[in-house]
Amino acid sequence: MTDSAKPPGRFEIFNTLGRAVQQFVPRTEGVVQLYACGPTVYDYATIGNFRTFILVDVLRRTLDALGYQVRHVMNITDVGHLASDADEGEDKMLAGARREGRTVWDIAQFYTDRFFADADALNILRPDVVAKATDHIDDMIALIRRLEAHGFTYVAGGNVFFDVARFSRYGELALLDRQQLQAGARISVDRSKRNPEDFGLWFTRSKFEDQAMIWDSPWGRGYPGWHIECSAMAMRYLAEQFDIHCGGIDLIPVHHTNEIAQAEAALGIEANDPQRWVNYWCHGEFLLVNGAKMSKSKGNWVTIGQLQEDGYDALDYRYFVLGAHYRAHQNFTMRALDAARAARAGLVSRVAALARAAGIDAPGAVADGGHAHPAANEALAHAAHDLAMPRVLARLWQLVKSDSDDPECTLRAVAAIDRVLGLKLLQSAASALADDTRSDPDVDALVRERDEARRRRDFARADAIRTQLAAQGIELRDAATGTVWQRAAALPERDR
RNA sequence: GGCGCCGUACCCAAGAGGUAAGGGAGAGGUCUGCAAAACCUUUAUGCACCGGUUCGAUUCCGGUCGGCGCCUCCA
């Protein structure tokens, strides 16, 4: 574990606010306050969603490995939101409920559970705080009241809006030029708004008669706008001003832009104030599927569960994601996933071989070697430079392929590197080693008989036994130390 | 109309102003009764194209072509 007496290592991260890789300086020495936008739980999360959650996880692991104390907060959006401020489209939670004939509350619980099941399979660490929007309506109302007190709101058509014109820095994060935006280019604009960019803070008017999630508020019975929850919950569980806010790149132009507006307006942060609500904004690029964006609306989305049904381990997907830099597009194809699976398997088998060489039966228990090993040092340095995970992987491969006269030391370095990668390499190697000693009376008897036959050079009989076992899905390998067997991995092939 | 990103071998994908990480796949080899596994070796004088800056660019600048995305919700 990291020596907490030492100051944290240097960390650099690309800041969307400023569009440059910057040296990370936390507000409080040695402590990182991190907020990540979580899932909307009206349907399964896609592998694209999880690309971003893996980014957050890697960020958190890297900061931790560098010696920072990280406090990680994530929201669960379990309240329905309309498709636009114009009260159009459909409420996603309601749509999910209608689709499945269940209540919105059931839907939220079900998909929240599914989300964490997938996240666990991907070895994504749980945030320190998971906050549900519906548990924090009071915090949102309090924040809206603060905005109201500062004169940043107005009521129109029964709904409370944020007045963008009052916030001069509006759009800075997204480099938006308000004059050039084609408002309503793709959707119609709510006529009651003063400016097209104004966004709802609290709605009391909805076209949905069966709106199940409504609460009392100073403005009437209704429900909160889309953006207020993250700001309210981040400020509640972190501090009013904190270090890093993460999300997908698609959140930049609207969600995060609006979050900055409402939070800085509420906090009274002036336009020329160097003190920001959040100092570092970190965004993950999109995952493409066969060259095109994956989205729920297009229907070309893939879930972790689907990959598992096809015989892949969630960690194969994690390896795939780690193979590309988080700020670059990444193209998901089954062929690329196959490559990731093969690569991860190769890594695990090399780690298992190191454990054998070191005489360690349970490599899962190997403590990481701190930063004693140069390879671990270099790998961590790559991670610390804007999360260059492809370089971390390359360094790991170099380490694992090098001849080592101290396999245990190498193993400790692997453990240290995997602390950042989160690929469970040591645990996986442990189960690979367990396979070495697997036994089954019937199979063992046949294997012994075959060995006898081979000794007699009765290869016809030996091959017959091998064929017989193969029919049962058992593969034999005649290693120098004797014959070992394993069940062939069942890998249903999907059309690709 | 405005804004942003990208274009590296068969595939995925790093990269830096000084001569192309890593993985997968393929090929060759070692080993083996055969096979499998494992291991070794190997695969871009080249980084979309055209100009410019430079002693030197794939890496910087400008342009062209091509792909993707945003300006509704979406990670």
Residues A37/A231, Cβ–Cβ less than 8 Å? no
Lookup: tokens for A321: 């994601």
**SS3 of residue A317 by DSSP:** helix
Distance CA A389 to C1' B59 in A = 21
Q: Can you give the pLDDT at residue A456?
A: 85
Nucleotide nearest to A349 (CA to C1'): B38
Query: pLDDT averaged over chain A?
Result: 86
Nucleotide nearest to A52 (CA to C1'): B75
Q: Can you give the pLDDT at residue A256?
A: 93
Distance CA A333 to C1' B26 in A = 19
CA gap A284, A58 in Å, rounded: 12
Helix spans in A368-440 (H) = 374-384, 389-401, 407-421, 425-436
> Per this entry, what is the length of chain A?
496
Helix spans in A238-297 (H) = 257-267
Chain B nucleotides near the protein (CB, 7 A) = 1-6, 11-15, 21-25, 32-40, 67-75
Q: Can you give the pLDDT at residue A303?
A: 93
Q: Can you give the pLDDT at residue A83?
A: 42
Q: Can you give the pLDDT at residue A87?
A: 44
Q: Can you give the pLDDT at residue A178?
A: 62
Q: Can you give the pLDDT at residue A370?
A: 56
Element (H, E) at A130: strand A129-132
ipTM for this prediction? 0.93
CB within 8 Å of A6: residues ≥ 6 apart? A67
CB within 8 Å of A272: residues ≥ 6 apart? none
User: By C-alpha distance, which of A45, A42, A47, A49 is closest to A110?
Assistant: A42
Distance CA A39 to C1' B21 in A = 35
Nucleotide nearest to A252 (CA to C1'): B70
Lookup: tokens for A211: 């709106």
Residues A315/A118, Cβ–Cβ less than 8 Å? no
- Each residue's pLDDT tens digit, A426-473: 999 988 777 666 677 788 888 888 888 888 888 888 888 888 888 877
Distance CA A88 to C1' B74 in A = 16
Neighbouring-strand partners of residue A477: A484
Q: For chain A, which residues score pLDDT lower than 50? A: 1-4, 83-88, 183-185, 490-496
Amino acid occupying residue A486: Q
Nucleotide nearest to A335 (CA to C1'): B11
CA gap A465, A199 in Å, rounded: 72
Lookup: tokens for A240: 């009013």
Distance CA A409 to C1' B30 in A = 29
CA gap A216, A222 in Å, rounded: 6
CA gap A34, A55 in Å, rounded: 13
